Every structure is written in C-alpha cells, then in structure tokens.
Amino acid sequence: MKILGIFRHAKSDWTDARLRDFDRPLNKRGRVGAGVMGKHILEHGVGWRYILASPAVRVTQTIELAGEAAGETPPVTWDRRIYLASSAALIDVLKDQETDPRSILLVGHNPGLEDLIFDLVPDDGSSPLRDVVEDKFPTAAYAVVELDIEHWSDLREGCGRLTHLVRPRDLDPSLGPSLTE
C-alpha cells in the first residue's frame, strides 16, 4: 500500500493584474489558511517525508507557511510538470518516482488535484468523503488517499480510497467562503 497526500495551494492574491498566473502570491486569508493547514497536516500524523510540488509562487509560499506553522518542512522536489497539470499528467509524475517512498505529499493546483481524486477513488460508495470533494476541493484543502499498489509505477485509476479530507473552514470558520467570492 502507498499513501498519497493531496494539498491544494492556499488562497492566492489577484489584485495585481500585471502578474503572470505562475507568479501570483498568497493573499492574507491564504497565508493564515496555509498555517492552519500546516499544523493540521502535522497533527494528522502521516509523517510526510517526500513532497512533490509545483514551483508556482502560491505553492512555494503555501509550503513555506505550512512548514513554519508545523515546525518542520521536509525536503521538496519542485516539478514544473505539476503546474496546472491534468489528472493524467499528475499520475505520470507520480508513476515516475524512482525512490518509491511509502508516502508522497503532492502540492499543486485545481482542477488537476480534484480530478486526480476522482480518477483514483471509485465512485462506488466506498469513500463517502468523495461526495464532499465533488461539491468543492477549495484552496488549502488536504486529502489523503490510500492506494492499493506496491510501487508508484503501478498507479492506475480506481486503485484508491479517500480516507481523510479537511478544508481550512473545517478548522477555522473564518477561512470559509466570503459573500464576495
């Protein structure tokens, strides 16, 4: 069995229209949310020692702030292929892992991360949390998928079970959607 953590970047700042999408930083709510989620991820206890992440600014800041709040940041492998990747591209990135760690925390963007959950977790009622993801996988959401595989190269659609899902608003209601969004 392998374990895949899926962590969407925190809320980004759209105020400077001149910035490329890749260069957008986190906004104030995103910085708070990244910290709240960092503490939760540590307390959840999987013990992520291998992180694969998009190098986009909002992802790097999310990881930095989550790590500061948790008091540790494991080494990160930055992979440009994760930036705005589709589910199929993310599966390819995961299948390419040569070190074959027991668990990987993948940090990136929607819609690819949400679609990855849908592709890995069958819609057969075995993972009730899947319905919550179908509603929305918001910024800074964190999910854990247990995979029925021996090696990452064996990754395929339908081999997972969604065992954990937390959104920032679940931990701090002020981090939920505002009326202006």
Q: What is the pLDDT of residues 100-121, one digit of tens each?
A: 899 999 999 999 999 999 999 9
- Residue with structure tokens 């899947």? 130
Cα separation, 2 vs 144, whole angstroms:
11
pLDDT at 178: 64
pLDDT at 179: 43
What CATH number has the domain spanning 2-12+22-72+85-156+164-174? Answer: 3.40.50.1240
Tokens of 59: 């992802």
Q: What is the pLDDT of residues 76-88, one digit of tens each?
A: 999 999 999 999 9
Cα separation, 10 vs 82, whole angstroms:
16
Count CB neighbours of 136 within 10 A: 12
Count each helix (H run) and each strand (E run) in the chain, helices first.
Answer: 6, 6
Cα separation, 114 vs 8, whole angstroms:
9
Confidence of residue 164 (pLDDT cuts 50, 70, 90): very high
Residue 125 in this model has a pLDDT that exceeds 70: yes
Whether residue 107 contacts residue 4, with contact meaning beta carbons closer than 8 Å, is answered with no
Confidence of residue 19 (pLDDT cuts 50, 70, 90): very high
Q: What is the mean pLDDT of the chain?
A: 93
pTM: 0.94
Q: What is the pLDDT of residues 28-81, one digit of tens each?
A: 999 999 999 999 999 988 888 899 999 999 999 999 999 999 988 888 999 999
pLDDT at 72: 87
- Residue with structure tokens 């949400």? 114
Closest among 51, 152, 160 to 94, alpha carbons compared: 152
- The answer for residues whose C-beta is within 8 angstroms of residue 69's C-beta and 6 or more apart is 34, 35, 36, 38, 39
